[in-house]
Chains A and B, each alone.
Chain A
Amino acid sequence: MPGYLPPEKRSPLQQLGDILWGVYTQLRTIVMIFSHTFRKRDVIPYPEVKPYMPPRYRGRIVLTRDPDGDERCVACNLCAVACPVGCISLQKTERPEDGRWYPEWFRINFSRCIFCGLCEEACPTTAIQLTPDYELAEYKRQSLVYEKEDLLISGTGKYPDYNFYRVAGMSIEGKPKGAAEKESAPVDIKSLLP
Chain B
Amino acid sequence: MLDWFNAHPHLVDSLIESVKAIVVLLVTVVVAAWMIWLERRLLGLWQDRYGPNRVGPFGLGQVIADMIKIFFKEDWIPPFVDKLTFIVAPAIAMGLMLLMFALVPVTPTWGVAHINVGLLVFLALAGLEVYAVMLGGWASNSKYSLLGGLRVTAQTVSYEVFMGISLMGIVMLAGSFDLRHIVEYQAANGWNIIPQFFGFCAFVTAAIAVVHRTPFDLPEAESELAAGFHTEYSGMKFGMFFVGEYVGIVLVSAITTVLFFGGWSGPGVESHAWLAFPWFAFKCLCFMSGFILLRASLPRPRYDQMMAAGWKVCLPLSLINLLGTAAVVVAGAHGA
Chain A residues proximal to chain B, CB less than 8 Å: 19, 26, 29-30, 32-34, 36-37, 39-43, 45
Shortest distance between the CB of B296 and any CB in chain A (Å)? 5
| Among candidates B45, B48, B49, B297, residue contacting A30 with C-beta atoms closer than 8 Å | B297
Shortest distance between the CB of B159 and any CB in chain A (Å)? 17
CA distance A157 to B296 in the complex (A): 48
Task: Name the residue on B nearest A16 (C-beta).
Answer: B313
| Among candidates B48, B53, B296, B313, residue contacting A42 with C-beta atoms closer than 8 Å | B48
A43:B49 contact, CB within 8 angstroms: yes
Task: Name the residue on A nearest B42 (C-beta).
Answer: A37
Shortest distance between the CB of B52 and any CB in chain A (Å)? 12
A40:B297 contact, CB within 8 angstroms: no
Is B116 an interface position by the 8 A CB rule? no
| Among candidates A19, A26, A40, residue contacting B48 with C-beta atoms closer than 8 Å | A40
If A30-B293, A30-B298 are given as contacts, then 14 extra A-B residue pairs at C-beta distance below 8 Å, sorted by A number, are A19-B313, A29-B297, A29-B298, A30-B297, A34-B46, A36-B45, A36-B46, A37-B45, A40-B48, A41-B49, A42-B48, A42-B49, A43-B50, A45-B53
Is B189 an interface position by the 8 A CB rule? no
Is B18 an interface position by the 8 A CB rule? no
B48:A43 contact, CB within 8 angstroms: yes
Chain B residues proximal to chain A, CB less than 8 Å: 45-50, 53, 293-294, 296-298, 313
Residues of B within 8 A of A36 (CB): 45-48
Task: Name the residue on A nearest B47 (C-beta).
Answer: A36
CA distance A26 to B296 in the complex (A): 12
Residues of A within 8 A of B46 (CB): 33-34, 36-37
- Asked, given contacts A19-B313, A26-B298, whether A34 binds B49 with beta carbons under 8 Å apart, the answer is no
A30:B53 contact, CB within 8 angstroms: no
| Among candidates A33, A41, A42, A43, residue contacting B297 with C-beta atoms closer than 8 Å | A33
CA distance A30 to B291 in the complex (A): 11
B293:A39 contact, CB within 8 angstroms: no
Kindly list the 9 A-B residue pairs having the minimum CB-CB distance in the complex, ordered from nearest.
Answer: A33-B297, A42-B48, A43-B49, A30-B297, A36-B46, A29-B297, A41-B48, A33-B296, A33-B46
Residues of A within 8 A of B47 (CB): 36
Task: Name the residue on B nearest A29 (C-beta).
Answer: B297
Task: Name the residue on B nearest A37 (C-beta).
Answer: B45
Shortest distance between the CB of B176 and any CB in chain A (Å)? 32
Shortest distance between the CB of A32 and any CB in chain B (Å)? 7
A33:B293 contact, CB within 8 angstroms: yes
Residues of A within 8 A of B298 (CB): 26, 29-30
Residues of A within 8 A of B296 (CB): 33
CA distance A78 to B324 in the complex (A): 88
Residues of A within 8 A of B53 (CB): 45
CA distance A85 to B17 in the complex (A): 74
B297:A39 contact, CB within 8 angstroms: no
